[in-house]
Amino acid sequence: MERIVIVHWNKSTGPQALIQYPPEKESLPKNLFLKIWTIHELNKEDKMIQITLDVMDTQFISIIHKYEGEIYFLILAYNKKDNIEDIINDYPDILANIGKNLINLISTNKITRAISEAFNTIKNYSKLDKEENLLNFFKDKIKFTILKIMRNGVISKNKLKSILKNEYGFSTINLDLILMPYIRENLIIKENISGSNDCYLLINDLIHMRLPPQNSYKSLSFVEIEDKDMIYNKYLEALTEFYRKYNCIQESSNIIILNFVFDKQVYLLFKMLRKKALTVHDCVNILNNNEVLFNDLLENKFIFEARGIVLLFTDLRFMKCFPHYIIKFLLIRYKEKDISLNEFLTHLRLLSNKLRESSDLSYYIV
């Protein structure tokens, strides 16, 4: 993601760039705006168009909007190597809503914050791998708060905004953008329910869990050391003892466990140890020579060390599971008249359909 630009089409003078982010970037040429205008004119049925210029590695998305009788374009510029196209192809309506929200704020003092928020969210989301994106549901405070709210069952967009602002102090502007990962990961579904527009319904919950790593013995083959079998047997004994006492339900809400993985160096170390065993020296180097952190990982049973060789002891993985508990909450909320009959029945129907379509397992590890 390179930049976001909002352009106003002036009937007398042509296209005029109103604001761009990042602001220090050199302005895009006016002839590009004219080309975008021409393509929009030739494809009036499409609010969103894509443009590729042969002489540039940059690609462009333009979303046209009319606001108070004036025409505006929201232009996204991104590199061909970025993963922006996945977002564009899968969720064009969300990008259209983001464009509408930004353009509605163009004459207010909120526009600077809103456009920077939109830019950084799209940029960060497109460059993260799947596991990092899932980690962000717990790392990002507003995303984790939304996940907790969604666990109570169906909620309208306006009510969600109100709860976030009044109960948690989040005055978010681009809620459509924030909710995009939930839809993309098939955690929630957006429905227009009679009497309640733009409702969101949780159909899969997301939890984290410590699991034994795969191919732990194979990882020792990358290390030249005697007594590999002795080290591995000692490792298995410790692993068996750990999981004999392990309470996955208790640890699913343990933020201390997640705090380790929130550290980029720890996350990198885990990724390396999934592939092969490492020496203590290599591990400390990956952790930026933070021996205290290395010892904390040992103490909290994330890594195992014997004879200077380190193995991944418990891996942190994410699990999507069917939210059985929501049925009880839906019934309570309906009886208390917190949700309408249509909202109650719609969420029940979605959950029932999902149960019929699923296999015997009501969860899967991501």
Confidence of residue 329 (pLDDT cuts 50, 70, 90): very high
Give first-to-last CA distance, the chain, whole Å: 26
Q: Is the pLDDT of residue 252 over 70?
A: no
Task: Write the CATH number of the domain with boundaries 3-127.
Answer: 3.30.450
In the chain, the largest separation of any two C-alpha atoms, in whole Å, equals: 82
How big, in percent rounded to 5, are the helix, strand and coil portions of the chain? Answer: 50, 25, 30
In this prediction, residue 304 carries a pLDDT of: 95
Alpha carbon distance 77, 5 (integer Å): 8
Q: Rounded to whole angstroms, how far apart are CA atoms 135 and 129?
A: 10
Contacting residues for 291 by C-beta, under 8 A, at least 6 apart: 284
Intrachain domains 3-127 and 207-319 with the same fold: no
User: The tokens 């309408």 sit on which residue?
Assistant: 340
**pLDDT tier for residue 11 given thresholds of 50, 70 and 90:** confident
> Tell me, what's the pLDDT at 83?
64
- Tokens coding 81: 């190597």
Question: Do you find a cis peptide bond into 29, omega within 30 degrees of 0?
Answer: no
d(CA 102, CA 50): 19
Span 96-154, pLDDT tens digits: 777 888 888 888 888 988 898 888 877 776 666 778 888 889 888 899 999 999 999 99
Q: Which fold has domain 130-204+322-365?
A: Arc Repressor Mutant, subunit A (1.10.10)
pLDDT at residue 361 in the model: 61
Confidence at residue 348, expressed as pLDDT on a 0 to 100 scale: 95
Helix or strand run (H / E) with residue 88: helix 84-90
| pTM, full prediction | 0.75
pLDDT tens digits for range 81-94 = 666 666 666 666 66
Q: Per-domain residue ranges for the chain? A: 3-127, 130-204+322-365, 207-319
The average pLDDT across 22-33 equals: 88
Average pLDDT over residues 71-75: 91
**351 burial type by CB count under 10 A (0-12 exposed, 13-18 middle, 19+ buried):** buried
Per-residue pLDDT tens over the stretch 260-290: 888 889 999 999 999 999 999 999 999 999 9
By three-state DSSP, how is residue 290 classified? coil
125 and 180 Cβ atoms separated by less than 8 Å: yes
DSSP string, 185-196: TTSEEEEEETTE
Q: Which fold has domain 207-319?
A: Arc Repressor Mutant, subunit A (1.10.10)
Q: Could you read off the pLDDT of 206-234 as tens digits, one per residue?
A: 988 888 888 888 888 777 777 788 889 99
Residue 156 CB partners (closer than 8 Å, separation 6+): 196, 197, 198, 199, 200
pLDDT at 96: 76
Provide the pLDDT for residue 56. Answer: 66
